[in-house]
Chain A
Amino acid sequence: MSQEEMIRAVNIHKSFKGHEVLKGIDLSISKQEVVCIIGPSGSGKSTFLRCLNRITEPDEGEVLFEGKSIMGPEVDIDEVRSHMVMVFQSYNLFLHLTAKKNIMLALEQVRGMEKDEADARALDALRRVGLDGKADAYPGQLSGGQQQRVAIARAIAMEPKMVMFDEPTSALDPELTYEVLDVMKKLAYGGMTMVVVTHEMAFARDVADRVVFMDQGVIVEEGDPNIIFTNPQNERTRQFLKRVLQDEPGPPPA
């Protein structure tokens, strides 16, 4: 993992209808680093992620991507976003297009690729997530897990510098989460910079380089996953993990 900085958030504040959701978040992520953000609902994790690519516009603070600020109207935010793509909890595949066309659209529109090249690239991306057989299926004809994998294929086909995941498995039935997490793991081991908001603690423990615990709009604790999960420093972290790890399906009692 390189020490070069990929993205940095400085003092991010965001309020919705008078209620302050993000109270000054500072976070830096290095190239090829996999960072998992965990925390209770309402902690602001998703909001923070969406501030990183300005899908949600911060009220205060700054985001620097590869050392350059991406704030303000003069920045070509579309160009920036093509390098830091996002995968959503509800997949958000383009419903009127087949899996392959879903991927080709961005390649043609954003990367300006010719149809043939986009077609080949899209198929390749689908292959990487194990769904080349479903290239001509529509999202409505795919299971949740398959849809999410197509969404990931759509993201990685762009050859981004970074991929952000906003609770990618939360909407899936338990038996389908495995196939998605598997794809994400492959991506991580391949050296992709990833920021993942998730409830999948096992994934965080096994794959993350760093775990960040957020609660009530602030970062409470962050660090090596092994340390966070076995010996958290902060009481709130401890409480949260106790609740969450108890609920996780473990091996049946002997």
Chain B
Amino acid sequence: MTMADGWQIIQGNLDAFLAAAGVTVQVAVFGLAIGFAGGVLLALSRISSFKPLSWLATIYIEIIRGTPLLIQIFFIYFGFGAISPLLNFNALTAGILALGLNSAAYQAEIIRGGIESVPKGQMEAARSIGMTRMQAMRHVILPQSFRLMIPAMTNEMVTLIKDTSLVSTITVVELTFVGKQLTSRYLEAVPILGFVALIYLVMTFATSRAMRYLEHKYRIPGYGEEE
């Protein structure tokens, strides 16, 4: 039971780790993409002046944010399949869908926050020279809000990457699954799980660095951070 044994186990299973890391990335990327698309739709619905739409979006967001992600994953994986064969998703699909639908609720609030932190005068100026609300949103508000929401969005991305570990419970062979199984088999928790943690750290670190770069690249000249 030494670190040397642990390293041997890791080396011997490097293929499995790499494949699993690939699955983690796959789940994270698709989950985030669905989350973003859903988030934009939800955010715009939420701030819409058409009450029923706003109301529906709010209910969705409240339910998703108020229930555990793990429960949502089980619901979509086991529950949906029981309702109809059409909805009998395989583990990977169910996992991505659950993460995506969950992230959408959180991203909606981030996007909404970004939109609302754009100074009110921007919308007024756009409207007062004859732009429609949609034109103003698309060309004036949203572009600015995207820059403003980068920090919060980075947070959500890091959180989602870590949350992918939960799909290990529905048989998706990703990093945490392999880590747990190997630990179960070889009982070398510290080196094995340490290695898994390291891989996650590399992923989250790379993500926040990339977002920081984006933030810098798209900064609005004259405002915010000094160059």
Contact = CB atoms under 8 A, between A and B. Distances in A.
B is bound to A = yes
Given A78-B130, A96-B143, A88 B220 contact: no
A151 B220 CA distance: 18
Interface residues of B, number: 22
A78 B221 CA distance: 30
A138 B121 contact: no
Interface in B139-179: 139-140, 143-144, 147
Contact of A96 (B125, B132, B144): B144
A55 interface: yes
Interface string B113-136: 000000101101111111110010
B222 interface: yes
A55 B131 contact: no
B50 interface: no
Interface in B72-112: none
Contact of A95 (B126, B130, B139, B220): B220
Contacts of B131: 78, 105-106, 109-110
Interface string A99-125: 000000110011000000000000000
Interface string B189-227: 000000000000000000000000000000011110000
Contacts of A12: none
Given A94-B140, A96-B144, A105-B139, A86 B220 contact: no
A42 B57 CA distance: 38
Contact of B121 (A78, A92, A96, A105): A92
Contacts of B129: 81-82, 85-86, 106, 110, 154-155, 158
Given A88-B121, A92-B122, A140 B223 contact: yes
A39 interface: no
Contacts of A169: none
Contacts of B126: 94, 106
Nearest to A157: B129
Interface residues of A, number: 30
B135 A109 contact: yes
A214 interface: no
Nearest to A155: B129
Contacts of A88: 121, 124-125, 128
A90 interface: yes
B192 to A, nearest CB: 48
A110 to B, nearest CB: 4
A175 interface: no
Contacts of A85: 128-130
Contacts of B143: 96
Interface in A45-88: 53, 55, 78-83, 85-86, 88
Given A105-B139, A109-B139, A138-B220, A92 B124 contact: yes
Instruction: Please provide the 7 A-B residue pairs with the shortest distance between their CB atoms, ordered closest to farther.
Output: A140-B222, A82-B130, A92-B125, A92-B121, A86-B128, A138-B221, A110-B130
Given A88-B124, A155-B129, 18 more contacts: A55-B124, A82-B129, A90-B121, A92-B119, A92-B122, A92-B125, A94-B125, A94-B144, A95-B222, A95-B223, A105-B140, A106-B129, A110-B135, A138-B220, A138-B222, A140-B222, A141-B222, A158-B129
Interface of B: 119, 121-122, 124-132, 135, 139-140, 143-144, 147, 220-223
11 contacts: A78-B127, A81-B130, A83-B130, A86-B128, A94-B126, A94-B139, A95-B144, A95-B223, A109-B139, A138-B220, A140-B223
